[in-house]
Structure 1
Amino acid sequence: MTAIKNLSRYVRSKNAGPFWMTIDIFCDSTEDYSRIKKSKDSLPEKVAALYEVDKDSMMFFFADDLLTVKISIPKEKPQGHKYESDMHSGQQFVRILELQID
């Protein structure tokens, strides 16, 4: 098993509107990208547990030409909520860096 941070060149998170955030995983090689893509059957459960959301509420996109995985996750609190701690979702990628891929 290998951590996402070791299979990617760059990982970022950002708002995708007030109710969603997106995590982008950019890979340098086809091999690394393929390892993540091949785990797409187990990936939703792992990410759902990590971000404490229902796995059926997330969306996964695999951009083969760009060697990039995009994960859209509903936000627990909408952007600007008085108890929201990351207004732009820019720090949310940190949790996924240690996620282990088969």
Structure 2
Amino acid sequence: MQDIRSKNAGPFWITIDLFCTDAAAFSALCEALSTQAVADALCTTAERLQRFDIAALNVIKFSAPREVVQGARADRDMHGASYAVVIKELIDALERTELERKETESQLS
């Protein structure tokens, strides 16, 4: 993966864009990253999370409703930038798990 960006998408939504380096990386990430896992990481439900796989751009986009309206007293991230970190940690964990699986397979063969 090349980059992750999260941002405010109006007062009621956050959007997270995952930019892949090429079609192979995009395909692998689409397969490995479940909507449910992202929803869990964002403390929402899969039904409330919107996912857009944009193959022509090698981009996966998620949109999630904000917990509180942007700018409200309880809003801890007015610009939505910290959500990228949460998804990066999730992807890093998926990559570690895949590396461990491959390592175990090579040891068994």
TM-score in same-fold range (> 0.5)? yes
Match of 1:59 in 2: 50
Q: Gaps (5+ residues) in structure 2?
A: 99-109
C-alpha displacement at 1:78, in angstroms?
1.0
Aligned identity (percent) is 34
Aligned length: 93
Higher radius of gyration, 1 or 2: 2
Could you state the TM-score of these two structures normalised by the residue count of structure 1? 0.84
Amino acid at match of 1:52: C
Cα distance in 2 for partners of 1:59, 1:25 equals: 14
C-alpha displacement at 1:16, in angstroms?
1.1
Cα distance in 2 for partners of 1:25, 1:49 equals: 17
| 1:44 aligns to 2:31 (yes or no) | no
Q: Gaps (5+ residues) in structure 1?
A: 1-7
Which is richer in strand? Answer: 1
Moved over 3 A (4+): none
Root mean square deviation, CA, Å: 1.4
Could you state the TM-score of these two structures normalised by the residue count of structure 2? 0.79
Cα distance in 2 for partners of 1:65, 1:84 equals: 34
Which is richer in helix? Answer: 2
Query: Which structure 2 residues correspond to residues 79-98 of structure 1 after superposition, within 5 A?
Result: 79-98=70-89
